[in-house]
Amino acid sequence: MPLITVTLDAPLDMHLHLRDEEMLRNIAKASAATFSGALIMPNLVPPVSSKEALLAYKKRITEAIGEEHFTPYMTLFFKSEYDRAFLESVREELTAIKLYPAGITTNSQGGVSGFDIEALRPSLEAMSDLEIPLCIHGETNGFVMDREAEFVSIYEKLASAFPKLKIIMEHITTKESVAALDRFENLYATITVHHLLITLDDVAGGMLQPHLFCKPIAKRPQDREALLKVALEAHPKVMFGSDSAPHPRHAKEACGCAAGVFTAPIALQLLTELFDTHRSLEHIQAFISGNAQKIYGIAPLSKKVILEKEPFRVPAEYNGVVPMYASKEIAYSIKGVRHG
């Protein structure tokens, strides 16, 4: 029986953490080897919040990926003091601006403390006029399982107040966020592979699995079902964003476990297996590239990734970072990458 072969054209990861310094050098190629490009998160220490910092970070990423064919789509860390003149000066260098509620996730202490529309209006109206998308980590400071659902009202407030502003609900995990997609023309979303595969039971239902702990935390089966429905049909307002978030082993396997799941080296294999299992392979291309191209108006580098339905054993670690499903076997392997 011949092997099943799947070819993905110009895969895009529209939510990626590459970190900096040694970690950047250790893990950047894990994404650059198979993805055509990725939207790079700006929550470094200090955050990427100036044109100079953005250009310097992009240079470090380019150096870390070496000869790989890969476009880092850059973002700034949202500040309410960004005025129109500043945004005009940096517009050609960035793809989006990322807003973090203060203190809600890794390195977000300098984020937004409140969502007063009038306080945000100057920056967000300028972003609307300049067609700069706003990406948001949408969680409140409430009970951990309710934080994302509670934030939907803030998405609605922003979407109504700034109807020309493209708002991307990042790494959505709840049925409430899925439902919001169709209520507002300017709301979009990224979905991770791990939130399509796991629920909170996988993280903490038995022995605690620190390498599956992330923010937003995995939710209930009914939430995963809602995510699967829109991902597997490649709803035109959703796209793949891995939120692949590397931490050294000692930071994950510790009291005070760092939040983040590292999926970059196996994301395409896992997605192909998932779409194949659900008989939805005809929609995978839109989910991993086509929708993002339309939403962001980008034209990625030509790169074709060839996968085969042949078992692959996930390494125990990649340069000191433990991936999702470490040492386990998954159904698909990457057999080649072609450029041009």
What distance in Å separates the CA atoms of residue 133 and residue 237, rounded to the nearest whole number? Answer: 14
Tell me the CA end-to-end span of the chain in Å, nearest whole number. Answer: 31
Helix (H) or strand (E) holding 339: strand 333-339
Angle, in degrees to the nearest 10, between helices 51-65 and 21-32: 60
CB 173 within 8 A of CB 151: no
Q: Any residues with CB less than 8 A from the CB of 24 and at least 6 apart, and which?
A: 18, 60, 61, 64
Give the torsion through C-alpha atoms of 307, 68, 137, 215, to 10 deg: 60
3-class secondary structure, 7: strand
CB 124 within 8 A of CB 90: no
CB 212 within 8 A of CB 206: no
The question of whether 243 is a catalytic residue gets the answer yes
The single residue of 83, 129, 146, 243 carrying the catalytic annotation is 243
Catalytic residues: 243
